[in-house]
Amino acid sequence: MFAERDMRHPLRRAVLALLLAVAGVGTAMAGPGTATRDDDRVSTSSLCAEVVRQVEGRLGIPAQLLSAISLAESGRWDAVRRTNVSWPWTIYAEGRPHYPANKKAAIAEVRSMLARGVRNIDVGCLQVNLFYHPDAFESLEEAFDPAINTAYAGELLFQLQITHRSWSRAIAFYHSSTRKFAIPYMRRVKKLWLIEHRRYAAELRDARIEALRLKKAERDATLAGSGQTATF
């Protein structure tokens, strides 16, 4: 993700405000590099998805749009869940993606790249570019924090929409200001956005069905205890 460099200073302030405002998302602000979630308690494959939903809601970004962008940026196949997920430790550099197993390994890999002189590096859930956004994060620990990475990207997308008065153009400029790169990216994100809409609708439907099933089971158990029979 490249986008527009001149937004970085106001974005930094907005991101800090957003992190403080979003309940349940934020990193503890006692210092840089604090993890958003303990990997022992929350599956790594759900880290990005959790904060993406919160940031979408807080900023009024259309539902599932930031989710679609996260999949375009850092999506990888999860064999256990049998679906694509946004991987929080993703790195894109030197023309290919890298998927370290954990945050510590991701930070070490980026440090090694920087030591070799590599500068054009995308990191995290939303693949924020460290060269074009040098002031986005105070440290690599912050850059790979899912909450901070996602909050920065969400604010950037939101500001791009204000500037260009179009979510489609915001999507395109999130990736590049060069048309030959921006348009295919926008189309890819829109396809993923449609898939995410359908997935979310299916989840809501399944949740409603499960709630009705549990309610019926509870009612049947109550009636059985009283010796009555359910009638419909």
SS3 75: strand
Helices (H) and strands (E) in the chain, counts: 8, 6
C-alpha radius of gyration, the chain, whole number: 20
Domain residue spans of the chain: 5-226
Buried b (16+ CB within 10 A) or exposed e, 98-134: bebeebeebbebbeebeeeeeeebbbbbbbbbbebbe
Neighbours of 4 (CB within 10 A): 17
Contact predicate 56/86, CB 8 Å: no
Is the pTM of the predicted complex or chain greater than 0.85?
Answer: no
3-state helix, strand, coil in the chain (%, to 5): 60, 10, 35
pLDDT in 10s for each residue of the chain, 232 residues: 755 544 545 666 666 666 656 545 444 333 333 444 444 434 888 899 999 999 999 999 999 999 999 999 999 988 887 889 999 999 999 999 999 999 999 999 999 999 999 999 999 999 999 999 999 999 999 999 999 999 999 999 999 999 999 999 999 999 999 999 999 999 999 999 999 988 888 777 888 888 888 888 888 888 887 766 555 4
